[in-house]
Amino acid sequence: MPAVTAHASDEPPYTQTDSSAEPRRFRELTGYQKLLFALLIWATFFEGFDTKISSLVLPMLGREFGVGPDVLGNLLATLGLGTILAVVALRIADRVGRRPVFITALGGYAVFTFATAFAQNLWQFAAFQFVARLLMVIELALAYVILSEEFPASLRGRANSLLGAFASVGAAVPAAFLPALEDAGLGWRGLFLLGAIPVILLPLYGKWLREPALFVERAAVAAPVSLANEFRALLRVLGPSRRRRFAALSVLWFTVNFWSACALFFFTLYAFEERGWTSERLQWLVPLAVPFGFAGYWAAGRLMDFAGRRFAVTLYLALGSLAAAVCYQSESHGVISAAYVALMMLNGLWPIANTISVELFPTDIRASATGFSHHLIGRWGMVVGPIAVGALAVSLGSTGDAVTLLSFANVLCIPVVWLGLPETRGLDLSELEAS
């Protein structure tokens, strides 16, 4: 079997499967794999919907509660801080299973999203969304883990990218509902009521979602739960043969979170306050953003499976900085709209990073490694980003200028990817079990 590119210190070496023996098209998947894909699509659709609401309603929150961009930036940072705690739940998922943690997170974020609709002040809003966002990222992280463990290597990149694509569709939908909800007198609160829909889907997940076979096989020989064994698991994640890739993966996750918090979370505030947009104009942008955004995720999957993970992440990081600069420096509504659509397409960076994450570590520490690299370290980008934009916007007198400058952090991450991460395209996850 041909070897996948890796550093000399990476032991054991990564190997590619003979992809000709694996399904290459979704129509060749088993009945359960297709059902699983549908279940995870619905879950991630609503995760995208609910995640987008908090940033979409920033101008309304600012007006209703009388706060400026610096306070709103701190609010988003607080919500991002909560997601760091996901590392605990993801370690539990490596112990008790992906299924129970996933279902609990799905139901929990729906309940707290519903509660957010009744917040009476900014701090109640922050408290409810703190918990909701924590549960959302747990659900999303496990969705990628479950899908990766159940799908063949030859389709893993495309499957994960399509999963992310439906999350992007979910993120685009709230803007379309906002004008009608405002006319109905529900305003931003109505979006959070809609975001609670997943709670009625829980019986379907309880009935049809299975524990991944890879986890079931590994759990049968897992070491008993003890403080010593948990410490050994941490050492395996940070062991000598994995230390460099873990550090590089953590930098990648920090950058992805930082860029998203800067370039995506502040668009509504920028467009409304600095370019004079209204919710009606934003509503017309949604039909354009959805298909192009979907195409960006699809392209990410194709690039991953045919050109490699490192090439895909490099291209998306570079284009992410460029698109943010165009979007936040233009005055033409047409150019801003086109650049915003490009930003939606470049959200395909998320499934690329998620795919790389699940391909670097064996089953018994896979979710934990994602938790440590992404949520314990990388999610600080989601905390630092909004604080930096808010503070820099006050200093420069422009949210657009602040976002433009900070979005170029992507460029600094590119050499880290090439120096620290092995290429994992075509990797058979079972090959990692002995490491």
Q: pLDDT tens, position by position, for the chain (435 residues)? A: 333 333 333 333 444 444 444 445 666 788 899 999 999 999 989 888 887 787 778 788 888 888 777 787 777 777 777 777 888 888 888 888 999 999 999 999 999 999 999 988 888 998 998 999 889 889 988 999 999 999 988 889 999 999 988 887 888 788 778 778 878 878 888 898 888 888 888 999 999 999 998 888 776 545 555 555 555 666 667 777 788 999 999 999 999 999 998 998 888 889 888 888 877 777 778 677 778 888 999 999 999 999 999 999 999 999 999 999 999 999 898 999 999 999 989 989 999 999 999 898 888 788 888 888 988 899 888 888 888 998 899 899 899 999 999 999 999 999 999 999 999 988 887 766 545
Is 114 a domain residue? yes
Side chain identity, residue 365: I
Is 62 a domain residue? yes
Is 12 a domain residue? no
Task: Give DSSP secondary structure letters for 386-398.
Answer: HHHHHHHHHHHT-
Question: What global pTM score does this model have?
Answer: 0.76
Is 132 a domain residue? yes
Contact between 166 and 44 under an 8 Å Cβ cutoff? The reply is: yes
Query: How far is 256 from 355, CA to CA, in rounded Å?
Result: 13
* Domain CATH number, residue 381: 1.20.1250.20
- Closest among 339, 354, 133 to 256, alpha carbons compared: 354
Is 137 a domain residue? yes
Is 56 a domain residue? yes
Query: How far is 144 from 158, CA to CA, in rounded Å?
Result: 12
Cβ-Cβ contacts under 8 Å for 156 (sequence gap 6 or more) = 147, 148, 305, 355, 359
Structural domain range at position 195: 26-432
Is 21 a domain residue? no
Residue 373, phi then psi, degrees to nearest 5: -75, -45
Q: Please give the structure tokens belonging to residue 246.
A: 């873990």
Q: How many domains does the chain have?
A: 1
Angle at 237 between CA 376 and CA 96, to 5 degrees: 80
Is 320 a domain residue? yes
Residue 399, phi then psi, degrees to nearest 5: -65, -40
